Chains A and B, each alone.
Chain A
Amino acid sequence: MNQVNDRSRDIGEFVPRPDDDMVICRCEEVTKGEIRKAVHEGMWTVTEVRRYLRTGMGLCQGQTCGKLVKGIIASELGIPQSELEPATSRVPMRPIEMKVFAKEAKEADGNG
């Protein structure tokens, strides 16, 4: 079992730090402290933190913060970053208006 799945492991209490106010996810304005706290509240994977705090769920879809969030979670858990799965990649890869997303191009063969 890797260390992420071993939820019985004691990672200690949340300890506040001076840079906790720093915004990490620029789109959803999630701070470093919030991410660290989330880990202590049981969110041990990038996906869990994402669902819990919306990191990487804003307009840019984690382009900027993906690696940073992963690094913060890993360091809070005391494990190497490579042990954490990155966030799931999903359609759409770029911001897109729903009206466009829903508009399939008409093709000659009708198999749009």
Chain B
Amino acid sequence: MAQRIALHPILGVPEKGRPVKFTFDGKTLEGYEGEPIAVALKANGVMVHRYTKKGHQPRGIFCAIGRCTDCVMVVDGEPNIRTCITPLKEGMKVETQYGVSPLPFEEQGCPSGKKGDGDETV
């Protein structure tokens, strides 16, 4: 589980919003209001934000500034939300994204991920 910094030698005590509850794949977790969703997830030990469409490979935080779009998840029912720059709000429903869906691949009818090779037709 990732550790929050209680006291920083240069920056002092990090400024945080009020504690709020949100759900991740149905589990209730706690984070601070206004911090990026990705940070709240990290503080709760969540590393995998999504599984890719073709290869079903796990992805998480990569650039943390909204550029790389690797950390996207389904938030309040909407897919492809960049969790590293989307502020956490009370009661948010955050779900792992499989392809572009919150449903695991088995439930989407594509159980095994094929690594993205051999796709020669366009």
- A and B together in one complex: yes
Is A31 interfacial (CB 8 A cutoff)? yes
B68 close to A64 (CB less than 8 A): yes
A26 and B80 in contact, given A31-B117, A52-B122 (Cβ under 8 angstroms)? no
B101 CB to closest chain A CB, in angstroms?
15
A29 and B72 in contact, given A21-B117, A63-B67, A94-B66 (Cβ under 8 angstroms)? no
A91, B99: Cα distance in complex, Å: 24
A94, B80: Cα distance in complex, Å: 12
**Contacting residues, chain B, for A86 (C-beta < 8 A):** none
B116 close to A30 (CB less than 8 A): yes
Identity of the chain B residue whose Cβ is nearest the Cβ of A95 in the assembled complex: B69
A26 close to B68 (CB less than 8 A): yes
Choose from A23, A31, A59, A64 the contact partner of B80 (Cβ within 8 Å). A59
Interface on chain A toward B: helix, strand, loop, or mixed SS? loop
Choose from A20, A23, A31, A60 the contact partner of B67 (Cβ within 8 Å). A60
A58 and B117 in contact, given A23-B55, A29-B55, A95-B82 (Cβ under 8 angstroms)? no
A60, B85: Cα distance in complex, Å: 14
Is B89 interfacial (CB 8 A cutoff)? no
Is B54 interfacial (CB 8 A cutoff)? yes
Identity of the chain B residue whose Cβ is nearest the Cβ of A54 in the assembled complex: B122
Choose from B53, B63, B67, B80 the contact partner of A29 (Cβ within 8 Å). B53
B112 CB to closest chain A CB, in angstroms?
15
A94, B119: Cα distance in complex, Å: 27
A30, B72: Cα distance in complex, Å: 18
Q: Residues on A close to B: CB < 8 A? A: 20-21, 23, 26-27, 29-31, 33-34, 52, 58-60, 63-64, 94-95
Of the A-B pairs whose beta carbons lie under 8 Å apart in the complex, a sample of 17, sorted by A's number, is A20-B117, A23-B116, A26-B59, A26-B62, A26-B70, A31-B117, A34-B117, A58-B69, A59-B69, A59-B72, A59-B80, A60-B67, A60-B68, A60-B70, A63-B68, A64-B63, A64-B68
In the A-B complex, the 5 residue pairs with the smallest Cβ-Cβ separation, listed nearest first, are A59-B69, A29-B116, A60-B69, A29-B54, A63-B67
